[in-house]
Homo-oligomer: A and B are copies of this chain.
Amino acid sequence: MLAGDRLALARLITHVENRTSAVPEIMRAVHARAQDAYVVGITGPPGAGKSTVVDRLTATLRAEGITVAIAAVDPSSPFSGGAVLGDRIRMQAHALDPGVFIRSMATRGSVGGLARATGEVIKLFAAFGFSWILVETVGVGQTELDIMQMADTTVVVFVPESGDAIQAMKAGLMEAADVFVVNKADRPGAPGLMAELKFAAHLHVTSPGAAKDVEWEIPVLAAEAQNDTGMAELLAEIRRHRAVLEASGALASRRRAKRRAELEMLLLDELRVRLKHRLQAGDLARTFDDVATGALDPYSATEAILARDDLLTE
């Protein structure tokens, strides 16, 4: 893969998705070859036109000769994979361009591992040598927020009809978002939605409670991605945000924080596996059963188990 073999890249991503035993070895090798890539997250409710925005941004970046990798992540696909498939068909404009790589990622039953897999895929893309990485997700649930935290700049795309969607997406949104886009801005509700978002952005930037490492008020852009309207402005805002992050030192400090968070996540994942094993098959199984029958309350059991010295040795 490090020699530029796209098929090898695709195979490594499959390893990551399936969490094979080769993943730690792969990720160690990739770490040594890490290259600097700029990661942009694009999220929003279903039907907001995120894929079209990704498509247009990609075309603009390619026109400048910049290579682009895209991860389209759908935490909600076990029920129906239709939307993602449709999106990917639309992206075929770039299918023959060696400067573009597109990968769809979906949960297979559980949403738990998807954020971790996405983080690993971002690293594979960066090691391969892509300059920009676009990560597209649907909605803002916990998984999407975890994924957005991997982006350097996060764009949230709305449509005038998405009133309900804004309500549904509000958890953590102001903390995660760097740029708001109102797509399909020719529709009637657009001016009202833009005013609402601008007010929310202004409230957020002036709220004394929010922890901010950088001076940045979320800009609100009108766009019609289908007609390429507003896309140059969007790219300009992303670059302005990048410049602010770089100049303030926030980009470097955020990336340090992300590496720390990654180590914590890896350790906890491994501890979870070991703990489960000890509880189900190991010497803690008796305590586990006592809790299951209700004979022992889980708080006393937790205390007793944590008092052991050998808790997590294998």
Residues of A within 8 A of B (CB): 24, 27-28, 31-32, 34, 45-47, 75-80, 83, 107, 111, 138-139, 141-143, 164-165, 167-174, 200, 256-257, 259-260, 262-264, 266-268, 270-272, 275-276, 279, 287-288, 291-294, 297-303, 305-306, 309-313
Contacts and interface: CB of A to CB of B under 8 A. Distances in A.
A79 B259 contact: no
Contacts of A270: 302, 306
Contact of A264 (B78, B260, B279, B306): B279
B24 A171 contact: no
The 6 closest A-B pairs by CB, nearest first: A79-B170, A141-B141, A31-B297, A76-B171, A256-B292, A142-B142
A20 B171 CA distance: 24
- Copies per complex of this chain: 2
Contacts of A34: 294
A27 B169 CA distance: 33
6 contacts: A76-B167, A142-B142, A271-B275, A271-B312, A309-B310, A309-B313
B168 A299 contact: no
B267 A306 contact: yes
A275 B268 CA distance: 8
A84 to B, nearest CB: 11
Nearest to A81: B170
Contact of A171 (B46, B111, B298): B111
Contacts of A111: 142, 171-172
